[in-house]
Amino acid sequence: MTNHRNPKRPVLPMTCTSNLFSQECASNIDCRQDDAENIFYQDLSCGNFPVDKNEEQSIPYSPRKAQACKKIPVTVTTFVRHSKYSNGRKMINEYVKERRINQGSYGKVVLYRNSNSGTPYAIKVICKSRLRKFRITGSETAMADVLREVSILKTLEHPNIINLVEVIDDQKSDYLYMVLEYVESSTVSNILETKGRIDETTARRYFKDVIAGLIYLHHHNIVHGDIKPENLLVGENS
């Protein structure tokens, strides 16, 4: 399994509850966005809503020929195997555990490394039974929200959106694993706390990538809904 992204580029976490991606994702904008350098979106799980297709377009997009957005399909694995690597570290299938990255309301995110390629991945570990008990609306569970996230990420591909590589969902296991592209990063909030400010040139560069991602998402009827310094991740070498 190969990571086809530049790990030096930063990341922007993002959430979404749209269920509009049951069909193939096709776009009238250039999915490659070769000049995007700084900001990524990741974590499409809660707090957002679809845009009404009948509403007037308020964000411009490039009128290019439609194309499928996911060049490399997401791998869906229906079994999970727990073991230990030669150094004693825990393994999930071919992934070796390194360290916990963070803990969210829907689950923890752990850094794993592919034992064959050495490629690092951020794996989101989700307890299915716990999220089935947690309701985000009167009729919908948090687990349904996560499954929507998976379904959306399976279709999206953009330089400013974290790539979903694999989903591990064994019906005999209480855990679902989302294998995501990993990028070394720091939040804009942390940068502001450390440096006190971000110079105008850098801020403009980051803002350009934020807008590029938003144009792509809005064109696919997704609203982010939670853009703030804590959710903007900037790559280490940006």
Residue 6 lies in a domain: no
Q: Which residues contact 196 (CB under 8 A, 6 or more apart)?
A: none
DSSP letters, 178-194, are EEEE---EEEHHHHHHH
Residue 94 lies in a domain: yes
The average pLDDT across 119-124 equals: 96
Of the listed 34, 169, 209, 226, which one is catalytic?
A: 226
Structure tokens at 66: 């439609």
In tens, the pLDDT along 125-166 reads 999 999 999 998 888 999 998 998 898 889 888 888 888 999
Q: Are strands 90-92 and 185-187 parallel, antiparallel or unpaired?
A: unpaired
Residue 212 sits in a domain whose CATH number is 3.30.200.20
Asked about 169 being catalytic, the answer comes back as no
The closest alpha carbon to 162, from 26, 10, 48, 33, belongs to 10
In tens, the pLDDT along 150-160 reads 988 898 888 88
Residue 204 lies in a domain: yes
Number of Cβ atoms within 10 Å of the Cβ of 154: 16
Helices (H), 69-153: 128-133, 142-153
The closest alpha carbon to 11, from 233, 208, 236, 237, belongs to 233
Residue 2 lies in a domain: no
Q: Which residues contact 199 (CB under 8 A, 6 or more apart)?
A: none
| Apex 101 CA angle, 95 and 103, nearest 5 | 110
- What pLDDT does 76 receive? 96
Residue 27 lies in a domain: yes
> 176: domain range?
12-235
In tens, the pLDDT along 55-111 reads 433 333 333 333 346 788 999 999 999 999 999 999 999 999 999 998 888 889 999
Residue 7 lies in a domain: no
Residue 224 lies in a domain: yes
Domains contained in the chain, number:
1
Residue 5 lies in a domain: no
- What pLDDT does 48 receive? 44
State residue 151 phi and psi, 5-degree precision: -60, -35
